Amino acid sequence: MQGREALYLKLLRQFVSDQADMPARVAAAIAAGDWTQAERLAHTVKGVAAQIGAPSLRDLAEQLEQALQQRLPPAEIEPLRQQLALSLPLLVSAIAARLSPVAVAAPAAFDPQRWQRLRERLILLLEQDDTECEILFESEEALLRAGLGQRFEAVAQAIRDFDFPVALAAVRAAP
């Protein structure tokens, strides 16, 4: 995170809230025959685990992702998913136990010109699939919340999931 402690802490909080139930979501996607969703979930936990510095979890998620991509039989996929289901909650619990509560900042006055400049910059980064959009999203969260309104959470989730086309469409649709 290049010394950005606040960004790293936010990433850890997001990991705790977004990834705890990932093995169950993978199982549900497989049961529904949604291989694309199962792969995306494994890919996301792989990427986030790498970002937070959890290499063994990253490796396990990568093995699961590859097994899903190859459409291996359930007898080969399920042990990987179960390993993830055992190790992920341990990491989530350990991180959650060490994180302090988040202080909520008072909303700032909305600046329409600044919002348009920020929106244009974010669109450019998303069009280029540039992960710098995560840093921009973190550093300008208050203005993005105000500018995106109800779209904020969907855009935030899409960026966390590296689903930049979905985030891009939502940002473009914002006024």
Every domain of the chain and the residues it spans: 5-98, 112-173
> What average pLDDT score do residues 115-135 get?
89
Give the pLDDT score at 172.
Answer: 93
Q: What kind of fold does domain 5-98 have according to CATH? A: Four Helix Bundle (Hemerythrin (Met), subunit A) (1.20.120)
Give the pLDDT score at 76.
Answer: 93
> What average pLDDT score do residues 53-69 get?
94
Yes or no: say if 1 and 7 are a contact pair by the CB < 8 Å rule: yes
Task: Evaluate if residue 103 carries a pLDDT over 80.
Answer: no
Give the pLDDT score at 37.
Answer: 92
User: Which residue pairs, CB below 8 angstroms and at least 24 apart, start in 32-38?
Assistant: 35/68, 35/71, 38/68
What is the C-alpha to C-alpha distance for residues 163 and 130, in angstroms, rounded to an integer? 11
Task: Evaluate if residue 104 carries a pLDDT over 70.
Answer: no
CA atoms within 13 A on the CB side of 11: 23
Task: Evaluate if residue 107 carries a pLDDT over 70.
Answer: no
> What average pLDDT score do residues 23-50 get?
90
